[in-house]
């Protein structure tokens, strides 16, 4: 089955760029997602990328997909303190299109 | 307002005392799912339901039961809770099954402690 891995923690300074990385094992994932979890809340969809795309940009967010290396990244430009949260990557595929989540990366933004 | 509502948000209970965590969505979604979140393990799926009266095991179903008698409700039942079920639980729903560029909507979570 799908296995999705992320580093556990990233610390950046306000105004810098953040890059959160994710690797996955199942190349049949049709879509790959980034979810954000703020403290005390559920997950919210941040952005997603279709598997035949290399890059997707949405305001401060850039998603890069390297299918050959099975590597997904989320870049947040001009990181703000409000971006402090846990970020989960997830892949969906297979017969039931089930979402498999990574372990989550805690992003800490220092003022 | 479109939302997934879970209750209770916080619960402390003792080993063996049956409990139910309710989940309700008001978006007429077909698909609903329960996850547990544990440090370093991410989200793991407990059970899911593709539609009314259709439920299936996820990755960690042991010790849990679910039912889907109505489209909007998907309660999670712990018949005999044990301390290893201490966790943060999330209910989620989507228009279609699991993914496919469809957004998964999450409840705010239910933090359960089993003593």
What was the pLDDT predicted at A94?
Answer: 62
Report percent pLDDT > 70 for chain A: 94
Structure tokens at B17: 């005392």
Q: What is the per-residue pLDDT for B7?
A: 97
Q: Out of A42, A88, A96, name the one closest to residue B42 (CB).
A: A88
Residue A50 touches partner B, C-beta closer than 8 Å? yes
CA distances from B44 to A17, B61, B71, B88 (A): 30, 10, 23, 11
Separation between Cα atoms, residue B101 and residue B61, nearest integer Å? 26
Question: What is chain B's mean pLDDT, rounded?
Answer: 92
The more confident residue out of B9 and B101 is B9
* A16 pLDDT higher than 80: yes
CA nearest neighbour of A59 among A75, A71, A44: A75
B38 touches chain A (CB under 8 A): no
Give which of B96, B89, B74, B63 is closest to B11, Cα–Cα: B89
Q: What is the mean pLDDT of residues A66-82?
A: 95
State how far residue B81 is from chain A, nearest Cα, in angstroms.
23
Q: What is the rounded average pLDDT for all residues in chain A?
A: 90
Paired residues of B66 in beta bridges? B76
Pairing mode of beta strands B76-78, B65-66: antiparallel
Q: How far does A6 lie from chain B, in Å, by closest CA? A: 10
CA distance A17 to chain B (A): 24
- Residue B110 pLDDT > 60, yes or no? yes
The chain A residue lying nearest B107, using CA atoms, is A42
- Alpha-carbon distance of B55 to A1, in angstroms, equals 20
What pLDDT, on a 0 to 100 scale, did the predictor assign at position A93?
64
Q: Given pLDDT bands bounded at 50, 70 and 90, which one contains residue A1?
A: low
């Amino acid at each position: 089955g799908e296995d999705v891995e992320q580093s556990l923690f990233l610390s950046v300074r306000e105004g810098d760029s953040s890059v959160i990385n994710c690797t996955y094992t199942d190349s049949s994932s049709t879509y790959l997602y980034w979810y954000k979890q703020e403290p005390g809340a559920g997950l919210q969809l941040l952005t997603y990328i279709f598997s035949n795309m290399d890059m997707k940009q949405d305001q401060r967010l850039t998603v890069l997909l390297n299918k050959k290396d099975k590597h997904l990244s989320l870049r947040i430009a001009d990181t703000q303190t409000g971006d402090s949260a846990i970020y989960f990557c997830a892949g969906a595929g297979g017969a039931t299109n089930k979402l498999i989540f990574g372990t989550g990366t805690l992003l800490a933004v220092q003022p | 307002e479109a939302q997934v509502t879970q209750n209770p948000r916080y619960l402390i209970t003792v080993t063996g005392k049956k409990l139910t965590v309710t989940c309700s969505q008001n978006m007429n979604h077909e698909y609903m799912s329960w996850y547990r979140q544990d440090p370093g393990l991410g989200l793991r799926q407990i059970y899911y339901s593709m539609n009314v009266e259709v439920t299936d095991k996820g990755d960690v179903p042991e010790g849990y039961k679910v039912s889907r008698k109505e489209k909007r409700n998907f309660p999670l039942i712990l018949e005999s809770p044990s301390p290893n079920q201490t966790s943060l639980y999330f209910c989620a729903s989507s228009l279609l099954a699991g993914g496919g560029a469809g957004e998964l909507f999450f409840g705010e979570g239910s933090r359960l402690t089993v003593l």
